Amino acid sequence: MTRIKEALPAIALIAALIAVWWLTVSLTHSVIFPTPWEVVTGTWELLRNGTLWEHIGASLMRVGAGFGLAVCFAVPLGLWMGWVGGAYRTLNPLFQILRPISPIAWIPIAILWFGVGDASPIYLIFISSVFPMIVQTTVGVHTIEKRYLRAAENFGVSRRTLFKQVVIPAVLPQVLVGMRIGLGVAWLVVVAAEMIALHSGLGYMIMDSRNAGNRYDLVIAGMIIIGLIGLSLDTIMRLLEGVRWVRWRYAH
């Protein structure tokens, strides 16, 4: 019941925006921009013929592959850079140069290297999500409270045990922050890549709906679905932040 009460302001705001949208379209007598009901009927059309599920599945598959590769690469590398000073001094300048480059700027290179198949968006997702995770993981190691390390040293634990039982548990909250940021960027990038280079996915669906008869009801439906899936992915990452073994660092 408490959660329902907490959600009421957000629900009221969304309802008000939908009402304004509907009223604006009705008053302007727009023949192109759809009403909310037309978006609902367009979404139902896609659900009924199965097209929507195919596009959602294609986009999620690409995000899962690219993001998974980024996690496997970024987390070990970030731990190494945070723990070994020489690795940090050597690699950090390179990553700080590459990190500000927009993932969209990599699209021509991705097409040149990988063509117009699934490999291009997977590469773009990897390159866009790997840097936030590297940075956050490295920062997590650097900001571990010294009392944890001193306590372990007083007990005479080995360097390997210290890293496994103190450093990794302490850095997990920062790792998840990096994963949350990286996943959000990855979801943005896959949609942009699909608009340009592919023939499936939500990004392609939006462009195809625009080009095939000005189906702006399907364009808006695609945009809303992208937002809802992005919210769902972010919610999942936030739930992981509440897991007990992730909160080890903040325990009193």
pLDDT in tens, 169-207: 888 888 888 898 999 899 988 888 887 767 888 888 888
Query: What's the CA dihedral at 136, 138, 144, 149 to 10 degrees?
Result: 160
pLDDT of residue 153: 67
pLDDT of residue 76: 92
The gap from C-alpha 89 to its chain's centroid, in whole angstroms, comes to: 28
pLDDT of residue 130: 93
Radius of gyration for the chain, computed over Cα atoms and rounded to the nearest angstrom? 23
pLDDT of residue 252: 42
Tokens found for residue 104: 């969209």
For residues 147-166, one letter each, b for 16 or more C-beta atoms within 10 angstroms of the residue's C-beta and e for the rest, the string is: ebeeebeeeebeeeebeeeb
- Domain ranges across the chain: 1-31, 35-250
Instruction: Give 156's contacts (C-beta < 8 A, 6+ positions apart).
Output: none
Residue ranges of the chain with per-residue pLDDT less than 50: 250-252
Tokens found for residue 78: 């970030």
The type of residue at 220 is I
- Would you say 128 and 68 are in contact if contact means Cβ atoms under 8 Å apart? no
| Among 202, 182, 204, CA closest to 135 | 182
Assign a CATH topology to domain 35-250.
MetI-like fold (1.10.3720)
Instruction: Give 180's contacts (C-beta < 8 A, 6+ positions apart).
Output: 234, 237, 238, 241
